[in-house]
Structure 1
Amino acid sequence: MTSGDNAVFSRRNLLRIFATATVVAAPTYAKAFGLLRGSGDIRQVNLISGRSGESINAIYWIDGEYIPEVCKEINHFMRDLRADKATKMDPHNFDIIAATHHLLDTNEPYNLLSGYRTPGTNAMLRENSRGVARNSLHIKGQAADLRLKSRSVSQMARAAEACSAGGVGIYSRSNFVHMDCGPVRTWGG
């Protein structure tokens, strides 16, 4: 191993320590679109949950690699609070959340309304709302319903659509945007 390799190794380890401790570091992306293509050095999510009172502001990806420990923390944060169950979320959904947040140019954390849902929770929500899909990507850990006070639903939806990385559901009456890492499509208004 050369001294240059040691410097990279030490830098990566140092960044992993910071990320695991969820220390905030400002990501620098040439373009948010490049983030989805893997050209950024650091990716981070900044989320709060009004339901649980929890928050997470964590670097989950460094130099082309997801950080498993941090992804587990995000999985727990995005758990089904009604059933108190977590699943392995698809990290590509984290990428969409991070990219749209960057495009919106705000420091305000996303308010997570819904991440993972157990089949039972999804069925219960479906009984009470027309807007809940039977085979929701929430059940597969591939979706999040998000809100920002400082940005409109249409601004958030445009940012998500610009990523061309998954589904974007616009729920103007309920003041949130659904973002998933499934097929590219849009609905709602």
Structure 2
Amino acid sequence: MILPTDSLLKYDCPVLVSKNTERKSPRSRPLKVSPQQIVESGPVPPPPKPKSPSADASKQQTEEILNAILPPREWMEDSQLWVQPVSSAPCTRMDVIHLQEQLDRSLQARQARETGICPVRRELYSQCFDELIRQVTINCAERGLLLLQVRDEIRMTIAAYQTLYESSVAFGMRKALQAEHGMADMENKLKTSLLVIIFLL
């Protein structure tokens, strides 16, 4: 299986999605039913305590919010659709330290510039911010949604600056071409006026 490119954002294991949109695990096996065996009488262990419905509902809600904030990765392989959702596992202090080390290694490995405009550095920091949003959302969904608004505002501002930069470069190029044409016209006028003066003399 060909996995997509590495990311600083933490993902779960890829899941194969069938044509009828049912999710199947790549290592799933058919269920084998065995006949009941006679069990010798003895002390019966108590049944396991069921999980509280509020905890399951809260976890499901967190996963839905995570999938809405950070959509799962999808790719086709051998006419099969694979989906890889973001991880909903809570993070620890060591995970944050590991993320910092991974960011530093990725910046160095991909030779990102330390100053100025660098698309590689911007991409890596964007992945790192998405991972921080994921970690915060698991603990507090409201805080994660607020960070999502901050991220979207930053992206809109950067896109506006990029559009302004591109339009200013295009404007400067047009003015430079107009100046070149104006210089050529001036030279032609000077030559014509010099020829007229010489002819009159």
State the TM-score, normalized to the length of structure 1.
Answer: 0.24
Higher Cα Rg, which structure: 2
Higher strand content, 1 or 2: 1
Higher helix content, 1 or 2: 2
Q: Which has the higher relative contact order, 1 or 2, with Cα contacts under 8 A spaced 6 or more apart?
A: 2
State the TM-score, normalized to the length of structure 2.
Answer: 0.23
